[in-house]
A and B are shown apart, each in its own frame.
Chain A
Amino acid sequence: MTQPLLSVRNLSTRFRTDRGLVRAVDDVSFDVAPGETLAIVGESGSGKSVTALSILRLIPDPPGKIESGEILFEGKDLLKLDDAGIRAIRGDRIAMIFQEPMSSLNPALTVGLQVGEPINLHRKTVWSKALDKAAELLGKVRIPDGKSRLNSYPHQYSGGMRQRVMIAMALACQPKLIIADEPTTALDVTVQAQILALLKELTREANSAMILITHDLGVVARYADRVAVMYGGRIVETAPARPLYKSPRHPYTRGLMASVPRLDGDTGRPLVPIEGQPPDLASLPAGCAFALRCKDATERCHRERPPLVESARHHFSACWYHERLAA
């Protein structure tokens, strides 16, 4: 593997709440290679978004705090930068696309101002030039007639268009890494596909890497090169997309796949839900976080937490019985 673009090492982010310390992200490590798309998958509350926000140090402090770890981006530890340093990275080298296009655009500012802002901010371009560039970017994300739409306000755009605007904002400074936090959750299915295809195409064109955060396994299969599955604030399995689909080596990943309907192949197959509730991050069990919901959990699973080990080439799993699962 070439030198990774982003290398997250032993990241732990915690939140102080009334119910105690919540380990939202616990000892998470992963790499993103230049131009690669890494999908982070998991259910609500598994720590996906907090991981993303931690990379750009956008965790509200208090109550949140990045407790330990390293986030190496192009060789620099983002956690050691001062405020001005991290601001220079945000939006310029690493851009972020948020979940809800309905609420992530400022209702009081025109679209042009918002798309042009990162350019004006990081490239110190005068506004007239930044707006020209903004119009060009709107064309790139296939908003017709970009020039005249610069003066529109977000409420005059539809949901899909707003997410296109968000993508245009993210691409404005040609970042090396784009973090898309569930970019299509609030959109309907046909628009979702368009947005993801567009995102993939534009990142490939710009040779940007992408961290795609989602709970939709269908999205992962189509757009990701590599997948990290998160559960209870930890990565439980990580592998290139194809082997992960073919032979998942963690019972949680297996459960996820069994619970998703498929249109190809075995359409008559019954859907199998994962029984139980996601774990309470404020009081994680001593052993494997998934043990309580795992059909094959043994006494050892409840007692000891399994480490993330390489089960096959580039395929890591945090299950004591990953070899048995492979068979």
Chain B
Amino acid sequence: MATIADPAVTAAAAPRRPRSGLLHFIGRLFREKPLGAVCAVIFVLFLLCGIFADVLAPYGYNQISPLNRLKPPSMKWPFGTDNLGRDMLSRCIYGAQLSVIIGFCAAGIATVISIVLGIVSGYLGGKFDLIVQRFVDAWMSFPDLIILIVVVSVVGPGMVQIICTLGLLLGIAGSRIIRGAVVSVRENMYVHAAQSTGASTFRVLWRHILPNVMAPVIVLFTTRVGTVILAESGLSFLGLGVPPPAPTWGGLLSGSGRTYMLQGPWLALAPGLCLTVVVYATNMFGDALRDLLDPRMRDSR
């Protein structure tokens, strides 16, 4: 044993302890990407806001109080009240809940579609890849909003319809990114090695390729949450989103927000600000994640 022990083995391997994943990663995020870290905090707050909306909101989102119509922001109503005396803060918090549900569900569906389509297309390659990619090209050549409006006007407005449509729409477009990552992973020797151990195509895809494209998948998911929230607001603004009385941010903007903008500018400012901050935070968080998870930067730590 002593004669054959590889001296490099003990020397090189011993000092490199496995880094404890998540904590270490959060530390890096704060050190290397302070803006990304702040945005991550906002993202988490938004998430908590959505999850605990029922506890956090001081009033119900549809609780009418005719005596307190169009009150400007004060201690009692931090975001003011609308034309029916409903508390804008509560409505914005419930709006966050809807945004969380729609954002995460649609981004989740989109990511799953992207993974399946991207991995299969990228790994199989050849004619299959060619046909799938031309289909994706054609799909992406339509402006998103047009497809959304067409679909919603056919199946009618509603949360489930919007989640499915946005999921499908962004999923197909996002598959391009995953495919690109798979194509570069596929040529690695370890994929051939996995095949040589007798692994089936599914096993190679699932166990050997997917873990190696997790970085773009995570980034894709995060940025998609922002895109979905924005798209949903756009639809609600056009009256094609989740129908009232559900207080979506887009709906708040277009409904009382637009009508009473001169009497109560806070009606438009509050949801508009929520939307801006959350979408900005999501995108910046996604950007920071992309930079940190980039394999080319992995060795620079």
Contact = CB atoms under 8 A, between A and B. Distances in A.
A117 B196 contact: no
A260 B192 CA distance: 32
Contact of A106 (B5, B6, B212): B212
Interface string B162-202: 00000000000000000000000000111011111111100
Contacts of A91: 196-199
A117 B206 CA distance: 13
Chain B's interface size range is: 20 to 34
A68 interface: no
Main secondary structure of the interface of B (DSSP, over half): helix
A236 B160 CA distance: 69
B198 A92 contact: yes
Nearest to A164: B6
A197 B197 contact: no
Given A100-B189, A161-B6, A95 B196 contact: yes
Contacts, number: 105
Contacts of A100: 189
Interface residues of A, number: 45
Interface stretch (B11-19, B66-74, B250-258): B11-19
Interface string A209-248: 0000000000000000000000000000000000000000
A97 B25 CA distance: 35
Contacts of B188: 103
Interface string A152-165: 11001111110010
Contacts of A160: 6, 8-9
A62 B188 CA distance: 17
12 contacts: A58-B192, A62-B126, A91-B199, A99-B189, A103-B190, A105-B193, A109-B208, A118-B198, A142-B5, A161-B6, A169-B193, A198-B4
The 10 closest A-B pairs by CB, nearest first: A91-B197, A90-B198, A108-B211, A91-B198, A96-B196, A103-B189, A104-B189, A158-B8, A106-B190, A160-B6
Interface of A: 56, 58, 62, 87-92, 95-96, 98-100, 103-109, 113, 117-118, 121-122, 142-144, 151-153, 156-161, 164, 166, 169, 191, 194, 197-198
Interface of B: 1, 4-6, 8-10, 12-13, 16, 18, 126, 188-190, 192-200, 203, 207-208, 211-212, 214
